[in-house]
Structure 1
Amino acid sequence: MQWSAEIKKKLRELPDGPGCYLMRDTDGKIIYIGKAKSLRKRVQSYFRPHTLRTGTAKTRSLIRSIHDFNVIELKSDAEAILTEGKLIKEYRPHYNVLWKDDKRFLMIRMDVQNPYPMVSVCRVRKQDGSHYFGPFINGRAAAVAVDFLQRFYGLKRCRTREPNAEHYRHCSDDLIANCSAPCVGSISLEAYRERVEEAIAFLRGERMDLLKPLRAEMQRLSDEQSFEKAAAYRDLLLDLQQTVKAKANVKRTPRMMQEDAETGLRELQSLLQLQQVPTVIECFDISNLSGTSSVASMVAAVAGIPAPKRYRRFQIKTVEGADDPRSMAEVVRRRYGRLKREQGVFPDLIMVDGGITQLRAAHAELLDLGLADLPIVGLAKRYEEIVWDVEKNSGNLQLPKHSAALQVVTRLRDEAHRFAITFHRSLRSQRIMESQLDEIPGIGAERKKILLKHFGSILRMRRASIASLMEVSGIGRQMAELIRAELNRSK
């Protein structure tokens, strides 16, 4: 087969590291997704004549259908495996028959919807109210984790939903497997469920101190030369230690990001007791340098995803010096006063960057505008806490460290901060450049005003020709040449 010059160029530039590759047909549709320890070697292998001659019927058909490809570079082979699975489940490519047959990695399931939850392994994640953890690349490590949790926390192994004394007559798990035997009242339902919650926290990576018994067991098995079992414990330890890191590093697709954002919005609605999901959130931030050139930014998120078209910038007009609460009050008054006059659509939630002082200042402006029912909160920087109680300041809400809700609010707050800083820097830079006009003899305040109005900025004035400068009222050739020389000298 003859390949295009574009494909040949891509093949030469392929990275020699782990990642995923996506094959596309003539319509740009993804027809196959694969993973590789070396993207260069794996992807190039599809385009060799030998592969087309000796490959399986499916491989030959795939190669003949390829019109283009893309690659995603990742940090490790394990990350590539996880990312490949997520992409395949999202796009369902025609040639990925193995994943369509549900041959998936093992996960750990905790059926918390049952009175006496049990922990087990599974391959399919269902919408049944259970908690799922994984996938585990090493299936034996998942089985070891389940056995460890059952023994350490005394969780039941029987599959009976509500075991009783009759079931206990035929069971000896409390003697040989450390079961807490809730079926005969050896432990109360409340105490049993507390153990379940501790086991869940362990799987989330929140009980790292419990890794010591695992390390001890791994060492014991190694000393006994049970190397295969010891390796399973080693893999389990690595999985648990990297649980949070692996989740953060997996390449996110737009659909995955949207799902996480929607989860975060539902969590926010529940935590803040909002009447509806905060689909549209507007967030404000103030930026100044030693009390000069104070500006504010407003960024917005729709369905939890930043929406740049809705962003707004404000120059602080009524506040002198560094006074964030009063500056926040000004921009809230200007933003929602205008929306009210123009009968615009208000957001579902307002967020201000700062603590109780900024929140109270902004809330007071909403009261003056007759918008007391508009939900508003603050996000304190130090502990990433949500400040919500305007009147009593009774206590802030500290979101779980890796929750979807925290990701939504911190991403929006960071975006507001970035937008404000960028605006502040550009404004400061513009003022520094404008001051260059003050150094040119014969340019007073009035001429400076006329020049800036005509060209719009110093940058455009610097690029202007002598003839363009002379088009400005009151600027002759001699003055035009002087302006051009001075501006380009200080370039």
Structure 2
Amino acid sequence: MRDRFNRVIYVGKARDLRKRVSSYFLPSKMAQADLKTRAMLDATWDFETHTVRSEAESVLLEGKLIKEYRPRYNVSFRDDKRFLLVGVDLSEEWPRFRLARFKKDDGSRYFGPYAHAGALRQTLNFMRKKFGLLTFGRGAPTERELKSSTYQVPVRLSEISAAEYRERVAQACEFLEGKSREMIAALEEQMQKAAEKMEFEKAAELRDMIEDLRDTTKPTRRFTRGSLPSTIDPIADVRELADALRLPHLPRIMECFDISNISATHVVASMVCFRDGVPDKDNYRRYRVRTVEGQDDFASMAEVVRRRYSRILLEARETNQDRAEFSQEETVEGLQRLEKQTLNAQLPTSNAQLEARKFPAPVRLPDLIIVDGGKGQLSAACGELQRLGLHELSIIGLAKEREEIYRPSRALSLRLPMDSGALRLLQRIRDEAHRFANAYHQLLMKKRVEESILDDCPGVSQHRKNLLLRRFGSVNRLRKASVEEIAATEGIGRKLAEEVHRFLQRH
């Protein structure tokens, strides 16, 4: 659900969407609705739907959208907890299958995410019994795991070699990939035999296990930003935007700037790039504003635009140093020529070049620049572009309050219909820039919170700092503690305690 400013205010899922949505507007339901539901219905302006293939996919997509947009009327999935993954490090001699919530770049192989945690844990239990796998801990198996069969390892690993164990790991990986038909068929046969023998409890357990295995091993799509199932046609939206703004050519490459100054401590900015209507994350950039004191959106926007495009001009000069000093072309025309030259230079002329593929990145200016804000932000950005000789670049400002579009040398703003594909495209770009800037701002704030005056204390490492703060709770409490109390902390000796006490009394 979206409000009249096209902001996402609620995300939900349903097997029968028509029935689910219409139930909100029945008079009997409206009379019984709580204040939150009534407020949500009053604010609802539009609906957007996505069709998925299974219930598991719907849960994954719902959680992803809620974490991304943080709708004000959703309660579930708003924390930072993620869906479970299964990871296995195949470089280990005795690989173990472990649960994880983040996919790390550690060389491990990951499966998932999985929507149903309970079904996943039951599947791991089945794999442990079926394949004799290690699913907890780290490193080589313990002496107990090698010599005896336990709940953790139902077979004696000492009876098999590491190579044989790795073959079992490979079979388990194939099982998690969905190649489980034969095993599920065998369990179904066991369930039928148990039912025929009137062993209904055993048959019920096997039935539940089969359902868990199917939920876990059923192929599901991974939803990432820009890959959602949708009826949006990015190229059509780009064409509509070009017509609405009367641009000389399609804005295939668009760059959008946003300033995040939630606090005066860290003023940051973001630049996101969309190519053919979809995010081009390789060309995202983030900035810490250096020359502006306090919260000044106009000056901050000017600094970021100046830094971005002066860098492009510098790269262009370095790419073609011989002709840069004597060219009589306009700046934009010169950069367009250099772009064509760079692209032509990337065409391989020999097998050696084809194999090396070490070509310089093409020098490319955007077809359209978007700044988050109104006339003030737009004027600041235009002033910097003129100083750099890039006044021919197309640029607009998008004011969020009424979704007004401001253009240079135009007194009146442009307002597109709320259901316009062109406006939806601009909103997607603006919201992505806002998200990227806020994420960087939160990262810097988190680092600042983790900083402490103890970082400057001689002899106090990060580990010892954590021990002290965990014991005393804060630096102020630590400052009031005696040397004996500090020395009582595990890992802190008497000499270091005296040093910490003297340091805190001086600071």
User: What range is the shorter-chain TM-score in?
Assistant: 0.3 to 0.5
Q: Which has the higher contact order (CA 8 A, sep 6+)?
A: 2
Of Structure 1 and Structure 2, the greater strand share is in 1
TM-score by length of 2: 0.41
TM-score by length of 1: 0.42
